[in-house]
Structure 1
Amino acid sequence: MPATPDPVAPGRTDPLAVVTGATAGIGAAFARRLARDGYDLVLVARDATRLSGFATELTERHGRSVETLPADLSTEDGCVAVERRLTEGRPVDLLVNNAGIALTRSFLRTTVEDEARLLRLNVSSVMRLTHAVLPTMTERRAGAVINVSSVAGFGALEAGSTYSATKAWVTNFSESVGQAARPYGVRVMALCPGFTRTEFHQRAGINTSSMPGWIWLDADAVIDEGLRDLRKGRLVSVPDWKYKLAVVALRHTPQRLLHRLTRSTKVLVGRGGR
């Protein structure tokens, strides 16, 4: 059996993980990996029918207990439902905040409603669910939170896109909260993949046909490296050497030059595939 991220309290034999955005992309890959590693699961997504089918698949294949929680985390009711599950009943050993969206239009052409929904899902739900689960984890002195961010959060590379701003928040938030939680034996980490082969881009209406093959990451490899970094206690995980180099470039290239390069080449460093 592959090594788990080991966030389980002493004496617990059946760890429990909650995964949001669990029916597709990185969320589904996380669910499969964690079930294989011996976790029971609570899966959160909007589509109840799809959730039920996926839960049956995981139970039949891995023999784990899989609970489904249909919820739209861009809504107040959806957040409240998941917060309640995190704070009541069986303690959670690992929370994976994966649910998120991207907007395909510039801020100059989006609506306030679109931008507010982006913030509620990519930012507010991550804050609220992390805030809900940490008190019990710190009291037990065990547990972990993985917030799925993106390499895009390290720079404003796409003119008019507010997606990168939401991911910059997730990364900074996770790094800061992770430092506060560490003395209690609790790990909080931002997982920042680049372009990852999932259905995320197709569902978001992002045309990827002109992108070279080498730019793409495999979702399972992203999770493998992310879980290794979690075990090492890292606060931020950037899978794959080419994206590590990209982050170094983003952090040290003068902004005016960086913006000029991205305007001329239309390069996107990456939106994680959910």
Structure 2
Amino acid sequence: MSTALITGASAGIGTSYARRLAARGHDLVLVARSTDKLEALAAELRSSHSIKVEVLPADLTDTAQLNVVSDRLRTGSPIDILINNAGDSLPGTFATAQPEALAWLIQLNVTAPTLLASAALAGMLERGEGSIVNIGSAVALLPEYFPGIYSGTKSYILTFSQGLAAEVGPRGIYVQAVLPAATRTAIWARSGVDVASLQNVMEVDDLVDAALVGFDQKEGVTIPPLADAALWDAFQAARHALPPSLANAAPADRYRLKA
């Protein structure tokens, strides 16, 4: 029986992943700051699905606590699926954010998932199989639509996932980036946005169910609200058309100084 480790498991997307994976028969390691919420969820899932559930309280913005989770991935019993879900946003704009808040968000949205993926990967490569799921955001593709550095951190998650997939995919490791658009989670309140003011907000369970369909299909990038897959295919085709045009030792003519 495989085991999945889920960060941010005490609410929202993380809790939904826990319930869905438990229903599929996976044992779980649940990571979040709230011990009480994790214990309640673990009791529910043990009772409902007769699986093993390990509770690992940790604040991933605290280096020592992040290291505890990394050590669990690196040296504990095998983790077959890593769900890098924990993340957050900040209220206001880049200009109004305090440096300490910016550093905090980068630690949570960028540093933590990177180091946890690194910790999980060694064992996966040794076994020749495993899955890493990184929860990003559709604003990775639309940075103008969201103020501050949130979209930048999620752009990193997308490109990190794509680069990692290119590196370890041939060695049996599946990497999926999930890009939700507006989803009904607590992140909106923490960002200073009233979710009731938004249109076309996806419910968390619908988002996770769609992400798991993409997971089963081994998609590299899953965008649950995107109805027209041809748009993503065209975006990817344009991106993949760039390399030959970038392999030039001389600047393009339009950047040459005029006499």
- TM-score when scaled to structure 1? 0.81
1:239 equivalent in alignment to 2:210:
no
| One of 135, 140, 148 as aligned partner of 1:153 | 140
Preserved contact between residue 8 and residue 32 of structure 2 (Cα < 8 Å) = yes
Name structure 2 gaps, 5 residues minimum.
238-259
1:28 equivalent in alignment to 2:3:
no
**1:101-116 counterparts in 2 under 5 A?**
101-116=88-103
Which residue in 1 is equivalent to 2:3? 16
Mapped partners of 2:90, 2:232: distance in 1: 22
Name structure 1 gaps, 5 residues minimum.
1-13, 253-274
| One of 165, 173, 188 as aligned partner of 2:160 | 173
Amino-acid identity (%): 35
Preserved contact between residue 20 and residue 99 of structure 1 (Cα < 8 Å) = yes
1:221 equivalent in alignment to 2:203:
no
Which residue in 2 is equivalent to 1:202? 189
Mapped partners of 2:4, 2:125: distance in 1: 16
**Deviation of the 1:249 alpha carbon:** 10
Deviates more, 1:229-238 or 1:19-28: 229-238
| One of 179, 201, 206 as aligned partner of 1:192 | 179
Deviates more, 1:236-245 or 1:220-229: 236-245
Preserved contact between residue 151 and residue 243 of structure 1 (Cα < 8 Å) = no
How many equivalent residue pairs?
Answer: 237
**Deviation of the 1:242 alpha carbon:** 4.7
Mapped partners of 1:243, 1:196: distance in 2: 19
Which residue in 2 is equivalent to 1:8? none
- Change in CA separation of 1:235 and 1:137 when aligned onto 2, cut-off 3 Å: same
**Deviation of the 1:210 alpha carbon:** 2.0
Mapped partners of 2:196, 2:236: distance in 1: 28
Which residue in 2 is equivalent to 1:262? none
Mapped partners of 1:248, 1:16: distance in 2: 33
- Change in CA separation of 1:186 and 1:159 when aligned onto 2, cut-off 3 Å: closer
Mapped partners of 1:18, 1:250: distance in 2: 32
1:60 equivalent in alignment to 2:50:
no
Which residue in 2 is equivalent to 1:137? 124
Structure possessing the higher relative contact order (Cα contacts under 8 Å, 6 or more residues apart):
1
Mapped partners of 1:183, 1:141: distance in 2: 10
Preserved contact between residue 140 and residue 155 of structure 2 (Cα < 8 Å) = yes
Mapped partners of 1:141, 1:27: distance in 2: 26
- Change in CA separation of 1:108 and 1:250 when aligned onto 2, cut-off 3 Å: farther
Question: 2:143 corresponds to which letter in structure 1?
Answer: A
**Deviation of the 1:16 alpha carbon:** 0.3
| One of 166, 169, 172 as aligned partner of 1:182 | 169
Which residue in 2 is equivalent to 1:162? 149
CA offsets, 1:195-252, max 9 Å, x none? 112333234432122222xx12122222222222223222111012358688689999
1:40 equivalent in alignment to 2:36:
no
Preserved contact between residue 194 and residue 243 of structure 1 (Cα < 8 Å) = no
CA offsets, 1:154-186, max 9 Å, x none? 122246411000000000100110111111111
**Deviation of the 1:75 alpha carbon:** 1.3
Question: 2:78 corresponds to which letter in structure 1?
Answer: P
- Change in CA separation of 1:83 and 1:93 when aligned onto 2, cut-off 3 Å: same
1:72 equivalent in alignment to 2:98:
no
Mapped partners of 1:209, 1:221: distance in 2: 18
Alignment RMSD (CA, Å): 2.1
| One of 116, 124, 128 as aligned partner of 2:115 | 128
Which residue in 1 is equivalent to 2:76? 89
